[in-house]
Chain A
Amino acid sequence: MAIRERLSGNEAVAVAFKQIDLDVMAAYPITPSTEVPQYFSQFVADGHVKTEFVAVESEHSAMSACIAAAACGGRAATATSACGLALMWELLYVASGTRVPVTLAVINRALSAPININNDHSDSMGARDSGWIQIYSENNQEAYDNQIMSVRIAEHKDVMLPVMICQDGFITSHAIENIELLEDEKVAAFTGSYQPEWSLLSGNPVSVGPLDIPQFYFEHAYQRARAMIDSKKVILDVFEEFGKLTGREYGLFEEYKMEDAERAIVVLNSSAGTAKHVCNELRAKGEKVGVLKLRVFRPFPTEEIAKALSHVKAVAVMDKAECFSALGGPVFADVRTACYDLEKRPQIINYIYGLGGRDVKPDDFLTVYNALDEIVKTGHTGEVYRHVGVRGV
Chain B
Amino acid sequence: MAYNLKVEAAKPERFVGGHRLCAGCGAGVAVRGVLRALDENDRSCCGVATSCLEVSSFLYPFTAWQESYIHSAFENVAATISGAEACYTALKRKGKMDESYKFIAFGGDGGTYDIGFQSLSGAMERGHDMVYVCYDNEAYMNTGIQRSSSTPKFAEVSTAPVGSVLPGKMQAKKDLTEVIVAHNIPYVAQSTFTKNFKDLHEKSYKALYTPGPAFMNILAPCPRGWRYPPEDLMIITNLAIETCVWPLYEVIEGEWKLSYEPKNKLPIEDYLRPQGRFSHMFKKGAEWMLEDAQKIVDKKWENLLKKCK
Task: Assess whether B91 is in contact with A23, with CB atoms less than 8 Å apart.
Answer: yes
Choose one: A23, A61, A71; the contact of B79 (CB below 8 Å).
A61
Count residues of chain B with CB under 8 A from any CB of chain A: 46
CA distance A58 to B79 in the complex (A): 10
Q: Does A205 contact B (CB under 8 A)?
A: yes
Binding stretch for chain A, among B55-63, B153-161, B189-197, B239-247: B55-63
A373 CB to nearest chain B CB (Å)? 51
Chain B residues with CB under 8 A of A51: 90
Q: How far is the CA of A56 from the CA of B128 in the complex (A)?
A: 11
Check B87–A57 contact: CB distance below 8 A: no
| In the complex, per-residue mask of B272-296: 1 if CB is within 8 Å of any chain A CB, else 0 | 0000000000000000000000000
* Interface of B toward A, CB cutoff 8 Å: 43, 45, 47, 54-55, 58-61, 63, 65-73, 75-76, 78-84, 86-91, 93-94, 97, 99, 101, 118-119, 121-123, 125-126
The reply to whether A50 and B59 form a contact with Cβ atoms under 8 Å apart is: no
A-B contact pairs, 30 of them (CB 8 A): A23-B91, A23-B94, A24-B83, A24-B86, A52-B87, A54-B86, A56-B82, A56-B122, A61-B123, A67-B80, A68-B72, A68-B81, A68-B87, A72-B83, A73-B87, A73-B91, A76-B83, A76-B87, A91-B73, A200-B45, A200-B69, A200-B84, A201-B84, A201-B91, A205-B43, A205-B69, A206-B68, A208-B71, A210-B60, A211-B55
The reply to whether B122 and A61 contact each other, CB–CB distance below 8 Å, is: yes
A213 touches which one: B60, B80, B86 (CB < 8 A)?
Answer: B60
**Chain A count of residues within 8 A CB distance of the other chain:** 43
A207 at the binding interface (Cβ < 8 Å): yes
Q: Which A residue's beta carbon lies closest to that of B94?
A: A50
Per CB-CB distance, the 8 closest pairs between chain A and chain B, nearest first, are A65-B83, A57-B122, A61-B79, A209-B71, A68-B83, A74-B87, A64-B76, A210-B60
Q: Do A26 and B83 touch across chains, with their CB atoms under 8 A apart?
A: yes
List residues of chain B with CB within 8 A of the CB of A173.
none
Q: Is residue A222 within 8 Å, beta carbon to beta carbon, of the partner chain? A: no
- Check if B66 sits within 8 Å of A210, measured CB to CB: no
Query: Which residues on B sit within 8 Å (CB–CB) of A71?
Result: 70, 84
A98 CB–B CB distance under 8 Å? yes
Q: Does A216 contact B (CB under 8 A)?
A: yes
Closest to B60 in A: A210
Residues from chain B with Cβ under 8 Å of A98 in the complex: 72
A203: B residues at CB distance < 8 A: 43, 99
Known: A24-B90, A201-B45. A57 touches B83 (CB 8 A): no
Let me know if A228 is at the binding interface, CB within 8 A. no
Residues of B within 8 A of A68 (CB): 47, 70, 72, 79-84, 87
Residues of B within 8 A of A56 (CB): 79, 82, 122, 126
The interface residues of chain A lying within 8 Å CB-to-CB of B97 are 201
Q: Which of A36-84 contact B (CB under 8 A)?
A: 50-52, 54-58, 60-62, 64-74, 76
Partner of B59, one of A26, A60, A210: A210
Distance of A290 from chain B, by nearest CB (Å): 45
Contact with B along A251-281 (1 / 0, CB 8 A): 0000000000000000000000000000000
Q: Please tell me which one of the listed residues A54, A64, A212 contacts residue B126 in the complex, with CB atoms under 8 A apart.
A: A54
Does the CB pair A209–B122 fall under 8 Å? no
The answer, yes or no, to whether A388 is at the interface (CB within 8 Å) is no
Contacting pair A216 B86 (CB below 8 A): no
Residues of A within 8 A of B76 (CB): 60-61, 64, 91
Given A57-B118, A72-B45, A210-B59, also A24-B87 (CB < 8 A): yes
B60 adjacent to A23 (CB under 8 Å) = no
Query: Do A74 and B60 touch across chains, with their CB atoms under 8 A apart?
Result: no
Contacts of B72 in A (CB 8 A): 64, 67-68, 91, 94, 98, 209
Cα of A73 to Cα of B45 in the assembled complex, Å: 13
What residue of chain B has the Cβ atom nearest to residue A22's Cβ? B90
- Asked if A211 and B54 make an inter-chain contact with CB atoms under 8 angstroms apart, the answer reads yes
CB pair B54–A72 under 8 Å, yes or no, is: no
Q: Which residue of B lies closest to A53 (CB)?
A: B86
Q: Across the interface, do A60 and B75 meet the contact criterion of CB distance under 8 Å?
A: yes
**Residues B70 and A200 in contact, CB atoms below 8 Å apart:** yes
